Amino acid sequence: MSLFFSESAWLSLAATAVLGGMLLCRSKRPGQLWSQVLCLAGLWGGACLLGLSLLCSLLLLLLSCFLLYTCSSDQELLPVDQKAVLVTGADSGFGHALSKNLDKLGFTVFAGVLDAKGSGAEELRRTCSERLSVLQMDVTKVEQIKDAHSKVTEKIKDKGLWAVVNNAGVFQLPIDGELIPMTHYRRCMAVNFFGAVEVTKVFLPLLRKSKGRLVNVSSMGDITGPPETWDKMEKEILDHLSQEIQDDYGQDYVRTQKNLLPIMKDRSCSDITPVLRDIEHAISARSPSSLYTPGRLTYLWICFSSYSPTSLLDYISQKFFVPKQMPKALRG
């Protein structure tokens, strides 16, 4: 009788279900664990398909479950105890909501904003407690980072800084690399990479003093920005294109790609609670995870894209993301 229909195989699957259930019960982040349990089920099925012996399959499965169980075993949260946290990019989005949540939890919050006189900064001052301080902090400007460091040091004295959350980021119109102006590339690197590195280097001594946490936030595409930004980016792209490239791609293609942004925005989940919960866990847990993947099927997609053949990923991209009307430049 085949392995799929043997009593031993069903016993192996039952063991997986039990261990997976134990993992879910212990976890305070069930969404991510659900994805991991699904991966375990896939691992079990793959082992069967590869024709591994029942003993090898079961040992592989039990080892995987044990590792996940160990990683999720310590979910104890540390006391707030007046811990201080710096959050960059707090004008809006994740950084804004996170600053509010951390303030409610009792943390001393330093909310770094791009515009200290903007509506986001004013709302933080109006709605949060005196524990929260709004800091003018453009992460591309070293003098503002150092000024923020001086103000943080002055307020926390010798306590040290418990956590830095590198959240500030900018997005780019989802379009072919050839069409993106170099100014957009430089801005993206200045904010998303060099800005985070600069903030980290300046504040690391304060983190070492408290033996605290560094949390880096990245995105797989939930940053879309307001419609006025889309129009501005479209204009900048069209203004920088040579006549040859315009002839190869066409202006309609650029506009079609811009239309992906409202679709992304409409299909994105408006509930950012899973993201905030994971960042707060990274800040507060006694044993935080090294990687958090909030969002529906995010963990599964990362696993799939990491281990799938490039040809398969290219096929999926072409099937679902390439426009029906291909410009001349992209035709084979």
Tell me: the pLDDT tens digits for 105-146? 999 999 999 999 999 999 999 999 999 999 999 999 999 999
What is the per-residue pLDDT for 118?
95
Identify the CA nearest to 221 among candidates 166, 278, 267: 267
Domain boundaries, the chain: 3-71, 84-330
Say yes or no to pLDDT of 71 above 60: no
**How is residue 148 written in tokens?**
């923020």
d(CA 121, CA 80): 24
CB-CB neighbours of 236 under 10 Å: 15
Tell me: the pLDDT tens digits for 267-280? 777 788 989 999 99
CATH of 84-330, one of 3.30.460.10, 3.40.50.720, 3.90.245.10, 1.10.760.10: 3.40.50.720
What is the per-residue pLDDT for 261?
74
What is the per-residue pLDDT for 269?
74
* The model's pTM: 0.77
What is the per-residue pLDDT for 279?
95
Tally the C-alpha atoms within 13 A of residue 247's C-alpha that lie toward its C-beta: 3
Identify the CA nearest to 91 among candidates 135, 132, 141: 135
Say yes or no to pLDDT of 332 above 70: no
Beta strand ranges found along 3-142 (DSSP E): 84-87, 108-113, 132-136
Mean pLDDT, residues 32-49 taken together? 57
d(CA 77, CA 88): 23
